[in-house]
Amino acid sequence: MMRYFILILCVCKLQVEAFDWFNRTIRVDLSTNRESLARQDEFLVNSERSLNGVNATNGQYPWSILTVAWSKGPESWIGIPCAGSIISENFALTDIRCTGRESQPGPATVIEAFVGGVLWVSPLPTPKYMRHYWYIEPSAENSPNIVLLQFHERLTYNPNIHAIRLAAPGNFSYEGWASLSLGFNTPVGDFSAQLQFISTSIPNNNACTFAGNLANHEMCAIEADAGDVDGPIRRFNAFSGGAWMTFEYGDVDYHATLVGIHQFQYANATSSLGIATRVSPFVEWVEKLTAEADA
Ligand SMILES: *[C@@H]1O[C@H](CO)[C@@H](O)[C@H](O)[C@H]1NC(C)=O
Ligand SMILES: *[C@@H]1O[C@H](CO)[C@@H](O)[C@H](O)[C@H]1NC(C)=O
Ligand SMILES: *[C@@H]1O[C@H](CO)[C@@H](O)[C@H](O)[C@H]1NC(C)=O
Ligand SMILES: *[C@@H]1O[C@H](CO)[C@@H](O)[C@H](O)[C@H]1NC(C)=O
């Protein structure tokens, strides 16, 4: 009940903001006929520390994907691995830096997506490719990090491949809700990526003092059963682009809902652990773009 009350109050303000999201939407076309290079000439840069969560089992979070954004250097391809979430048969959501737009030696020209598994080991199997992605151009005062990726081919759903529902549009804060953070544990050494989850809870933005000032379209989370490790609030390590999800009561039962996208961090970063972009303010943006692409 409270939720719908909040939504009604915010409609006018959000419509203005929604225009702004659309105006700053940029589409990037990717080359998908990638030259095949031997995998030993390629390397992956860890986008973040390992998650140190609980290993997921097959089919437990079937919307989770592993993405690698590849940039071509003089002698090798350099890839940034990230997590993402399937939201329809041909779209996924992730963080903007998971597209490799800031990669060295240059912006990524290919994004691969590995779907339907919880453990990926080198050599990686044949991936699905991304054909386009859209992102929202950042601005100084407001820099949303959310990115929509379009698959080259539609996915066929099965028990290991399925979409997650988006949070309801609007400004519901999820304050006080239990949540899960999904991401891949990527041990140093031979590349392997194991999907993991960590139990977290979502406080008021003001409680996440480690994060500095969060914008309204961002959120923080804390480890659910944390000790007093990093001060009163314990940060946790997750994996760029990974889902922050809750379970909401629907018509018949509880269903998984995507409420946040874990923001990108470098492996040694300390400034932004436990921060996500809220999904709710962008649902209208996502629905408009996916409808246009499918038209
Ligand atoms: C969204 O909610 C936050 C806190 O709950 C509030 O500070 C902010 O002004 C709201 N934004 C809109 C657009 O209503
Ligand atoms: C965004 O586009 C709408 C519709 O074209 C326009 O009315 C609005 O002023 C634009 N907003 C900005 C911030 O450019
Ligand atoms: C989690 O998965 C990794 C990779 O498959 C494995 O090495 C590790 O032993 C697993 N941990 C547990 C507790 O099962
Ligand atoms: C942390 O990572 C960034 C980005 O890779 C790098 O520029 C910086 O030198 C690193 N800092 C340390 C202390 O390793």
Q: Print the SS3 string covering 144-213.
A: CCEEEEEECCCCCCECCECCCEECCCCCCCCCCCEEEEEEEECCCCCCEEEEEEEEEECCCHHHCHHHCC
The parent domain of residue 264 ranges over 165-280
* Structure-model confidence comparison of residues 171 and 174, the more confident one: 174
Contacts of 160 (CB under 8 A, 6+ apart): 58, 59, 62, 116, 117
Same-domain status, 249 and 173: yes
Q: Identify the pLDDT of residue 44.
A: 81
Q: Which amino acid is at 256?
A: A
Residue 73 lies in a domain: yes
With a 6 Å cutoff on the Cβ, whether 194 touches ligand 3 is: yes
Domain-embedded: residue 259 = yes
Report yes or no on 39 lying in a domain.
yes
Residues 105, 80 share a domain: yes
CA dist 201 and 219 (Å) reads 11
Assigned domain for 24 exists:
yes
Q: Identify whether residues 215 and 107 lie together within a single domain.
A: no
Cα–chain-centroid distance for residue 247? 17
Residue 275 bridge partners (DSSP) = 220
Residue nearest to atom 9 of ligand 1 (CA): 216
User: Which pLDDT tens digit goes with each residue over 85-131?
Assistant: 999 999 999 999 899 988 888 899 999 999 999 999 887 888 899 99
- 115/28 same-domain check: yes
Within-domain flag for 237: yes
Does 141 share its domain with 260? no
Q: Rounded mean pLDDT of 35-58?
A: 75
- Which pairing describes strands 192-201 and 222-223: parallel, antiparallel, or unpaired? antiparallel
Whether 177 and 136 map to the same domain: the answer is: no
Q: What is the pLDDT of residues 47-89, one digit of tens each?
A: 776 677 899 999 999 999 999 999 988 888 888 889 999 999 9
171 Cβ inside 6 Å of ligand 1:
yes
Residue 226 has pLDDT above 60, yes or no: no
- CA-267 nearest atom, ligand 4: 2
- 207 and 270 in a single domain? The answer is yes
Residues 154, 258: one domain? Answer: no
67 domain-assigned: yes
Residue 55 lies in a domain: no
The pairing of beta strand 254-262 with beta strand 77-88: unpaired
Residues 203 and 96 in one domain: no
Q: Are residues 118 and 230 in the same domain?
A: no
CATH assignment at residue 178: 2.40.10.10
Ligand 4 proximity of 266 Cβ (cutoff 6 Å): yes
Our CA angle for 35, 36, 41, nearest 5°, is 110
pLDDT of residue 285: 93
Is the CB of residue 45 below 6 angstroms from any atom belonging to ligand 4?
A: no
What is the phi/psi pair of residue 144, to 5°? -60, 140
* Count of domains observed in the chain: 2
Among the ranges given (31-35, 37-41, 282-286), the one the predictor scored with the smallest mean pLDDT: 37-41
Residue 12 is predicted with a pLDDT of 40
Q: Are residues 19 and 105 in the same domain?
A: yes
Query: What is the average per-residue pLDDT within 181-206?
Result: 85
Residue 232 has pLDDT above 70, yes or no: no
Is there a domain that residue 56 lies in?
Answer: no
Residue nearest to atom 11 of ligand 3 (CA): 55
